[in-house]
Homo-oligomer: A and B are copies of this chain.
Amino acid sequence: MSIDKKDQELLAHLQANARSSIAQLANKVNLSDTPCLRRIKKLESTGVISGYHATIEPKRIGLNVLVYAFVRLNQNSVTAANAFEEQVEKLQHVQECAVVSGSYDYLLKVVATDLEAYEHFVKYKLGSIDYIANIESTVVLKQTFNKKQLPL
């Protein structure tokens, strides 16, 4: 998959506004509609574009708290890792999960309505997952920015 200048421009525009019409996009990158659409379809089918998603302001729906939670498991087995990953994905408040370097095994990005709800989440939801040794929470006091644009 080779991504030329036009593709890069299309990706930039689609990251900024996923609901732009093909005609608008074609205009911005100086192509006519058909080749523009062809390029977008190709970017989709080759997996460069994996989806289009509305972004919701968490605070507008009552999710006022964001926390990064570091998790260490009590054993380094495939069984433990698989069990943990499977169970944590079911928790709707966990938005992202990553295996990380350092003294912890996982980093989770968690949303909650408030700190009390987060405490409850850690105690009863995360806390009920198998193989967890300990959890360290890093509370986000303020998000300074959250770009929706990867460097191309």
A residues neighboring B (CB under 8 Å): 1, 3, 11, 14-19, 46-58, 60-61, 63, 66, 68, 85, 88-89, 92-102, 106-107, 111, 138-152
Nearest CB in chain B: distance from A83 CB, A: 12
Total copies of this chain within the assembly: 2
- Assess whether B55 is in contact with A107, with CB atoms less than 8 Å apart: no
- Assess whether A16 is in contact with B147, with CB atoms less than 8 Å apart: no
A11 CB contacts on chain B under 8 angstroms: 54, 56, 61
Q: With the chains together, A142 CA to B88 CA distance in Å?
A: 15
Q: With the chains together, A96 CA to B147 CA distance in Å?
A: 6
Q: With the chains together, A47 CA to B146 CA distance in Å?
A: 16
- Assess whether B53 is in contact with A150, with CB atoms less than 8 Å apart: no
A139 CB contacts on chain B under 8 angstroms: 100-102
- Assess whether B49 is in contact with A54, with CB atoms less than 8 Å apart: yes
Q: With the chains together, A66 CA to B99 CA distance in Å?
A: 11
- Assess whether A96 is in contact with B151, with CB atoms less than 8 Å apart: no
Q: Which residue of the partner chain B has the closest CB to A91?
A: B151
- Assess whether A60 is in contact with B89, with CB atoms less than 8 Å apart: no
Q: With the chains together, A53 CA to B97 CA distance in Å?
A: 21
Q: Which residue of the partner chain B has the closest CB to A59?
A: B47
**Assuming the A-B contacts A60-B47, A151-B92, A151-B111, are A99 and B53 also in contact, with contact meaning beta carbons closer than 8 angstroms in the complex?**
no
